[in-house]
Amino acid sequence: MTQTETGTPPAESADEPAAAQPKGIGVVGWLRWTWRTLTSMRTALILLFLLAVGAIPGSILPQNVVSVDEVNTYVREHPDLAPWLDRFSLFDVFSSPWYAAIYLLLFVSLAGCVLPRAVAHARALRARPVRTPRHLGRMPYAARFSTDADPDTVLEQARKVLRGYRVERYGDSLSSETGYLREAGNVLFHLALLGLLLALAAGAFFGYRGNVLMVEGTGFANTLPSYDAIYPGHWTDTDDLQPFTLELDDFEATFIEEGGLRGQASSYVADMVYRESPDAGEGRHRLEVNHPLTVDGVQVYLLGHGYAPEFVVRDADGDVVFDQAVPFLYRETATFTSDGVIKVPDTGGEQLGFVGVFLPTAAETDTGELVSTFPGAENPRVTLEGYQGDLGLIEPQSVYRLSTEGMEELGSSPVMEVGDTWELPDGAGSVTFSGVSEYVSLQTNRDGSRPFALGAAATAVGGLLITLFVRPRRVWVRATEDAAGRTTVEVAGLGKTEVAGDNAEFHELTTRLADRLRDGSAGTMPPNTPSDPVDERSDR
């Protein structure tokens, strides 16, 4: 369609007239016109541009797929603008109706363009090279020379020179063609893109992604309620998730201790124990950042980590009412200064709540402020602020936030190290900082279409390489006897792509043929043909 049969560059592609308006041809005509316009290269070009331009807001504005928190922050900071942006799905660009419209149109257009091509190409694959044109001199490359060899010998030798070409003899001439694969590669490439889109869609509709936080020594069963957050696809059956279980045996983060990069993480390792199903055997996996665990077709990834200081809370009578490791969220990774909340609802009396700050490696600054200077837990300290009253747990609330409306302050704890106990004022009980655990945040991901997506992408690359580097071209050789009894040999070549180098190659074929004929010894010629006769010739 964009290729040329005439030797002029493929400027006059067949889709051009498609843009011309139909006149008075009724509904069918309009439909046909719409379809032709939609499947034209120019439309594809415009849609490709829209695809690129439409992606830009997706990189400038925070996106829900990337980080819901960032979107919320942005919404809070731009209360006037944000609702408008949201109205145009600008926080969900890549799942927005308008973006979907662009790529669906593009892919309809692609299918409409490529499928007919594929059919046409399947036919062309078996076709013989076309009849030799009468006037070879009109081809983009044409050469002519005389030889003493008779026409049949010339054509016989030409066949040998045209290795890799599909050759057909028509009377006094050979017609040959090569590079059929290019078209196949192009079709393959475009179909693979369609396949990729389908695989992505399937993954989005049937898979799920979830986040889990696990403290050392605790377990997780892959069921809906066990997740901190889960993002199922439209058609995912969330009541029937893969029944595996996980346990975090141990987690270790190491950090660079010395030099300018002190504090930068150098490795994270989580020792996991897993079972494919409750009664399956136990497996072990060293989970690291680039080494996910695959269990029952679900990928489990190590996303992050943090500290979970352990606390023991006793009530006024000295009975233990709380004994747990509590995950704290870090403020930044350089120091891992972390914040957390302890909620103790069952004290027998009034409920207790604490807001805590955890410093993994505590040190005093010059001004006497206590800060963390290193992300590793070398000198852990905790400070707490206590509250007593009603935690307000009837309302759903975040485990990382204490709602202090119904509570009264109990004051602040001293700086505690592991083993220290803070006696609460008014005999309300006590809190002991009993140890430090670590936690990991994991992501589970079930996407059965991943191998298909990869397969489609790899096929696309293969098809692309073929499209870009296979050059279809035709060569004709005609041998006729002239009045003087010598044979006039005409060689003509037509490159069907605009990729350069065709003429140079045609000329090389001509020189090779001429050399063979001059040599006279069919097929026994020493391989001393210059590699680039074109350069040689014009070097004179």
Partner 1 sequence: MTYAGVSNEAMASASDTLIIGMILAYAAALFLFAIEAAYGRRTKLRAGRLMPVAAGAGTDSDQADDGIEVQVRTREGEARASQSVLGRIALGVTTLGFVMSVAQVVTRGLAAQRWPWGNMFEFVVALCLVAVAGLLFASFRYQARFLGAFVLVPVLLLLGIGVRWLYVDPGPLIPALHSYWVPIHITALIIAGGSFMVSGVAGITYLVSDRTEARRARGEEVTGVAGRLPSPELLDRLSHRFILFAFPLWTFGIIAGAIWADEAWGRFWGWDPKEVWSFISWVIYAAYLHARATGGWRGRKATWINVIGFATVMFNFFAVNYVFSGLHSYA
Residues in contact with ligand HEM by CB under 6 A are 1-3, 39, 41, 44, 48, 106, 109-110, 113, 186, 190, 193, 464, 467
Strands (E), 113-162: 141-147
Concatenated DSSP letters of 86-125: HHTTTTSGGGSHHHHHHHHHHHHHHHHHHHHHHHHHHHHH
Quick one: what does residue 21 bind among partner 1, ligand HEM, none, with the CB cut-off 5 to 8 Å set by partner type? none
- How many Å apart are CA 401 and CA 412, to the nearest integer? 17
2 or 430: whose CB is closer to ligand HEM? 2
Pick one of 117, 280, 445, 525: the residue that binds partner 1 (CB under 8 A).
Answer: 445
Pick one of 21, 290, 365, 398: the residue that binds partner 1 (CB under 8 A).
Answer: 290
Which amino acid makes up residue 328?
Answer: F
3-state secondary structure of 59: helix
Residue 430 C-alpha from the chain's centroid: 52
For residue 14, give the DSSP letter.
T
* CA nearest to 473, candidates 496, 505, 451, 489: 496
32 or 169: whose CB is closer to ligand HEM? 32
37 or 397: whose CB is closer to ligand HEM? 37
Q: Is 198 in the site for partner 1 (CB under 8 A)?
A: no
Binders of partner 1 among residues 469 to 528 (CB under 8 A) are: 469, 498-501, 503-504, 506-507, 510-511, 514
Q: Is 16 in the site for partner 1 (CB under 8 A)?
A: yes
* CA nearest to 340, candidates 376, 309, 379: 309
Least Cβ distance, residue 463 to partner 1 (angstroms): 10
- How many Å apart are CA 290 and CA 380, to the nearest integer? 29
72 or 430: whose CB is closer to partner 1? 72
157 or 347: whose CB is closer to partner 1? 157
Q: Which stretch binds partner 1 (CB under 8 A): 137-145, 271-279, 353-361, 397-405?
A: 137-145
Quick one: what does residue 109 bind among ligand HEM, partner 1, none, with the CB cut-off 5 to 8 Å set by partner type? ligand HEM
Cβ proximity of 338 and 473 under 8 Å: no
Residue that is written with structure tokens 């070398």 in the block: 378
Q: Is 145 in the site for partner 1 (CB under 8 A)?
A: yes
Quick one: what does residue 144 bind among partner 1, ligand HEM, none, with the CB cut-off 5 to 8 Å set by partner type? partner 1
Q: Is 188 in the site for partner 1 (CB under 8 A)?
A: no
Q: Is 458 in the site for partner 1 (CB under 8 A)?
A: yes
Q: Is 31 in the site for partner 1 (CB under 8 A)?
A: no
Quick one: what does residue 113 bind among ligand HEM, partner 1, none, with the CB cut-off 5 to 8 Å set by partner type? ligand HEM
CA dihedral 256, 260, 263, 268 (to 10 degrees): -40
Put residue 123 in one of left, alpha, beta given phi > 0 → left and psi -120 to 50 → alpha: alpha
